[in-house]
Structure 1
Amino acid sequence: MLPPPTPADEPRRLQALRSLCLLDTPAHERFDRIVRAASHLFRVPIALVSLIDEDRQWFKARQGLDAPQTPRDVSFCGHAILTSATFVVPDALKDPRFHDNPLVLGAPFVRFYAGHPLRAADGSRVGTLCLIDHEPRDFSAADLAALADLAGWAEVELNALHEREARIALAQQERFFEVSMDMLCIAAMDGTFLRLSRAWSRTLGFSDAELYSTSLVDLALEEDRAATSRHLARAREGAPVLQFEHRARCHDGSWRWLQWNAVADPEEGLLYAVARDVTQARLLDEERQRVERMKNEFISTVSHELRTPLTSIRGSLGLLCGGVAGPLDSQVAQMVGIAHKNSERLLRLINDILDLEKMESGRLDLHLAPTEVAPLLAQALQAHQGYADEYGVRLEAVVDIPGARARVDEDRFIQVLANLLSNAIKFSPQGERVTLSLTREAGALRVDVQDYGPGIPEAFQARVFQKFAQADSSDTRRRPGTGLGLSIAQGLVARMGGTLRFTTTPGAGTRFSFDLPECEPGPEAA
């Protein structure tokens, strides 16, 4: 078997084939009619309109054959497109090119073949109209002429369909340019406009004539032109995709922010782009940033101004509770105790707000050092024993690797555990336990805090780490808290090289965990 050689004009031929936009399209009656007529006229069981791409012959129309395509390297049509005349094989079994071809030895059992090439509008031979029989046969001069005539009919239909599809595509493109809300653009590489959608006039207020007499660079505000020119230079240098923003002049003297997404076609020297008016979004973003800065400045100022006097108030109330001024009347002692607890709660809120503000502004300093983790867990449990007693909750530790070390800031690590433990305790039923564990997982140290409470409601799970987020945000909620603890803990864990995450099961509890890179054992462990 001899595979068909590649035509000398193969790149051009394939481009012409692609431009027909017929490959892998549904059947058309205009082509089905031709193969039915060919099969009847020549009394053959199989007639095909075949298109040849890089590696297959695909049948646009077929009579007497179920297969929609066959490989090009075993095709008869691949040989037929090599010449402008009809290609005839009277008996494939006697032809050295085809005698062992799988299409001859197996289905569809080709013995006779006649194929006339079909040409695209530029003359490229893109396929064939072919006849196949299971028996050898002769093919007369009259037969050759008749097949050429039928092939001419197929060519007319092939190119007419292409022209019709092209007209439809052009009309659709025109309509798209007319109705698109985005600003569609085809430009030369220097920014000269070649095609603009109607949205340009609607957005900038210029007439079509005014727009086509200017360019992308000239439309930009003077202070943005140099940057815009640099983006166009990148396209000329071969950058396939451009994304940039600049301010564009409007007819009334105002300007709009335009966001560009452009694709360069260096071979054609064209730039296909979509420009979107993002002025409102930019203004909203700038306003949001301004408000955020004001909020952060206000929070920082108020927090600092409140913390100093509040610390003094808390200290004084603590001394009174401790009896520094002598025994207090029971009613007075109760009121002082309430004031002391509330001052502590308010001071914790202020400290949390300051921590968040420092993290968001990048001013939170951590002093990381290789540290044994197990003693920090014990310290955190001891500090929360009284709080757990208030809720009737048992605390337990599971430490599988007592000497393990990680690079942490001790105070901030304890702060993370405090937030996780306090949450676990207050959401645990009376008589239940909270487990703090340290294990080794995949070469990292894993810290877990497990409670056996009601679990986190599904509706709240996506907001667990958001600032001021609480599952119960009502004024009468049973469990106190600022809604900042988990957000702070997440930020601190991230700064120590870990990721805080959770798993929860309704009615069965919640586990918060994070992994930290393990350090080498200290000299004292040797």
Structure 2
Amino acid sequence: MPAPSIPADEAQRLKALWDLCVLDTPPEERFDRIVRMAVRLFQVPIALVSLVDKDRQWFKARYGIAELSGPRNTSFCGHAILHSEMLVVPDATLDPRFLDNPNVLDAPHVRFYAGQPLRAPNGRLVGTLCVVDYKTREFSEEDRRALRDLSAWTELELSMKALQEAQAAVKQLDHFFELSADMLSITNLESRLLRCSVSWSRTLGYSTTELRDIRLRELFHPEDLPQVLEARQRAIEGRPLPSVECRIRDRAGTWRWLQSNFIFNPAECVFYSVAREITEQKQLESEHRRVEQLKDEFVSTVSHELRTPLTSIRGALGLLKGGIAGPLPAEAEELIWIAQDNSDRLLRLINDILDLEGLETGQLSFKREPLPLGELVTQAVVAQRGYAAQYGVKLVVALDSEARALVDADRFLQVMANLLSNAIKFSPQGETVQVRLARLPGGLRVSVEDHGPGIPESFRSRIFHKFAQADGSDTRRKGGTGLGLSITQALVARMEGTLSFVSEEGEGSTFFVVLPEWTPPEP
């Protein structure tokens, strides 16, 4: 059994069918009376208004069958829409297209079929008005004229329904434009409003009539107009584009911020846009930036002013500990130790703050060179052995590669010092911290693995935030500024690398630094 061919204009045909807005709608008397009249006029048991969808034929009106639809690939109507002329099959058992069709071999045992193609308002063939009989028969010219007349009536009803649906859609659109809190608009290529929602008048203070007499581009801030025009051009070219934030002048001359999205309809050469006012949001953002700037300036100034006297205090305490003033009473010596320990902690905090400021402002010096990463890793581990001994922790190094990376030596050692000191602090006494360097397809990976308490699940999403500390653990007792990992992540990023971690509570954590491997340029 040959399935019906697909018409050459299938895409346009389907669009015309779907634009009728009739598929899967409830039965309507105006279509039902047509099939009843066809049954009486032609003395047949079955009559259908059949619409041929992508994979099915769906019956808008039916007489003589219970089904609402059937497969397209076995339908007679699928063959009928291939030509504009009526398809008449006097005896299906003799027609090679249908003799082994399941509708012929089995119920309803079709023998006769006559189907007149139905046209959508744009002329595309979307279905048929057809009559079916269980016995063979001839179909006279008079019968053909009658079926064509009934088909014309069906096409008229389809057009009327499409018109009613369009009118209903326009009414709904009017209601939507009236109630929408967003600024909806349709504009032409000359930036004139063809239609806009009431919210445009509420936001800008112009009447609808005044808005239609204004070219919108004349209201945009001169600094923002280029990006608005670029967004419109991207929409015309069908390229994806983000929301556009721009200033627009209201009737009182005040600049208001809008966030807009554009879609271009090439068929009608118009833009559809949705905008909303974000003036208050922009003011809050500006105020927030100003507060952050003042805070950063204050912290930076205080940090710079504190570092010099604090360094002097720390040095003086060191001299006292060293015996420059002679032997000290035990109580005084203990106080000196406490004071120097707190001085060291304050100095670390100040240095971290200044490093962070330098990273954020781009003023932190970097001198990247192609250096053997294994040597730097070893150097970092050696520098931390004394610190590890204080905690009874052993450092183990495994170097699987001698490859080079383009890094700043001092900043890389700072990264390793932060990761190693964290791993040491949180490792139980007698445990081991493993440091590995390996070559991977994605670059060189340095890992620092400990067997401490792990990172709480609730803290992992903000572990790289400034001043972040996991209050639920013993982090506070271990000391630290809460800036180390934030600085470490920024330093690694400046060396074009990534910092990540895996952790399991009660089992430990592993931090990974991945850096691109350096290869010498070709001669």
TM-score bracket, normalised by the shorter chain, equals 0.7 to 0.9
Read off the aligned partner of 1:70 and give its amino acid letter.
R
- Give the structure 2 partner of residue 444 of structure 1: 443
- Give the structure 1 partner of residue 431 of structure 2: 432
- Compute the displacement of 1:177 (Å): 0.5
- Give the structure 1 partner of residue 465 of structure 2: 466
1:415 to 2:414 alignment: yes
CA contact (8 A) 2:4 2:78 kept: no
- Compute the displacement of 1:241 (Å): 6.4
- Compute the displacement of 1:315 (Å): 1.9
CA contact (8 A) 1:77 1:128 kept: no
- Give the structure 1 partner of residue 325 of structure 2: 325
Say if 1:110 and 1:423 are closer, same or farther in 2 by CA, change over 3 A.
farther
Say if 1:407 and 1:10 are closer, same or farther in 2 by CA, change over 3 A.
closer
- Compute the displacement of 1:473 (Å): 7.9
CA deviation string 1:216-271 (max 9, x = no partner): 123334x3586378448737974666653432222233221122211222431212
- In the alignment, structure 1 segments of 5+ residues that lack a partner are 522-526
- Give the structure 2 partner of residue 524 of structure 1: none
Say if 1:319 and 1:259 are closer, same or farther in 2 by CA, change over 3 A.
same
Say if 1:475 and 1:236 are closer, same or farther in 2 by CA, change over 3 A.
closer
Pairs within 5 Å for 1:80-479? 80=81, 82-83=83-84, 86-95=86-95, 98=97, 111-121=111-121, 124-133=124-133, 135-140=135-140, 143-144=143-144, 147-148=147-148, 150-152=150-152, 154-221=154-221, 223-224=222-223, 227=226, 230-231=229-230, 234=233, 238=237, 243-401=243-401, 403-442=402-441, 444-472=443-471, 477-479=476-478
Read off the aligned partner of 2:201 and give its amino acid letter.
S
What is the distance in 1 between the residues matched to 2:37 and 2:477?
87
- Compute the displacement of 1:327 (Å): 1.9
CA deviation string 1:52-98 (max 9, x = no partner): 46x656324463657644149x8644444633x643121245446x3
- Compute the displacement of 1:137 (Å): 2.9
Say if 1:378 and 1:71 are closer, same or farther in 2 by CA, change over 3 A.
same
CA contact (8 A) 1:257 1:277 kept: yes
What is the distance in 2 between the residues matched to 1:149 and 1:76?
18
What is the distance in 1 between the residues matched to 2:336 and 2:231?
72
What is the distance in 1 between the residues matched to 2:100 and 2:295?
80
CA contact (8 A) 1:115 1:130 kept: yes
CA contact (8 A) 1:456 1:510 kept: yes
- In the alignment, structure 2 segments of 5+ residues that lack a partner are none
CA contact (8 A) 2:44 2:133 kept: yes
What is the distance in 2 between the residues matched to 1:381 and 1:240?
52
What is the distance in 2 between the residues matched to 1:48 and 1:140?
20
Read off the aligned partner of 1:493 and give its amino acid letter.
V
- Give the structure 1 partner of residue 481 of structure 2: 482
SS in 1 for 2:72: strand
CA contact (8 A) 2:48 2:129 kept: yes
CA deviation string 1:155-181 (max 9, x = no partner): 354334323322322222111101111
Say if 1:210 and 1:47 are closer, same or farther in 2 by CA, change over 3 A.
same
- Compute the displacement of 1:145 (Å): 5.6
**Further displaced range: 164-173 or 37-46:** 37-46
What is the distance in 2 between the residues matched to 1:298 and 1:244?
34
SS in 1 for 2:477: coil
- Compute the displacement of 1:334 (Å): 1.2
CA deviation string 1:1-21 (max 9, x = no partner): 6966958x8887665434212
Identity score, percent:
48
**Further displaced range: 269-278 or 469-478:** 469-478
CA contact (8 A) 1:259 1:278 kept: yes
- Give the structure 2 partner of residue 506 of structure 1: 505
SS in 1 for 2:476: coil
SS in 1 for 2:257: strand
Read off the aligned partner of 1:271 and give its amino acid letter.
F
CA contact (8 A) 2:77 2:128 kept: no
- Compute the displacement of 1:375 (Å): 3.2
- Compute the displacement of 1:123 (Å): 5.3
- Compute the displacement of 1:26 (Å): 5.0
CA contact (8 A) 1:370 1:405 kept: yes
What is the distance in 1 between the residues matched to 2:399 and 2:290?
48
What is the distance in 2 between the residues matched to 1:447 and 1:324?
44
Say if 1:378 and 1:475 are closer, same or farther in 2 by CA, change over 3 A.
closer
Read off the aligned partner of 1:478 and give its amino acid letter.
R
Q: If the length of structure 2 is used for normalisation, what is the TM-score?
A: 0.85
Say if 1:32 and 1:328 are closer, same or farther in 2 by CA, change over 3 A.
farther
Pairs within 5 Å for 1:2-81? 6=7, 16-23=16-23, 25=24, 28=27, 30=29, 33=32, 37=36, 41=40, 47-52=47-52, 58-61=57-60, 63=65, 68-71=70-73, 76-80=77-81
CA contact (8 A) 1:256 1:279 kept: yes
TM-align CA RMSD = 3.6
What is the distance in 2 between the residues matched to 1:275 and 1:332?
70
Read off the aligned partner of 1:509 and give its amino acid letter.
G
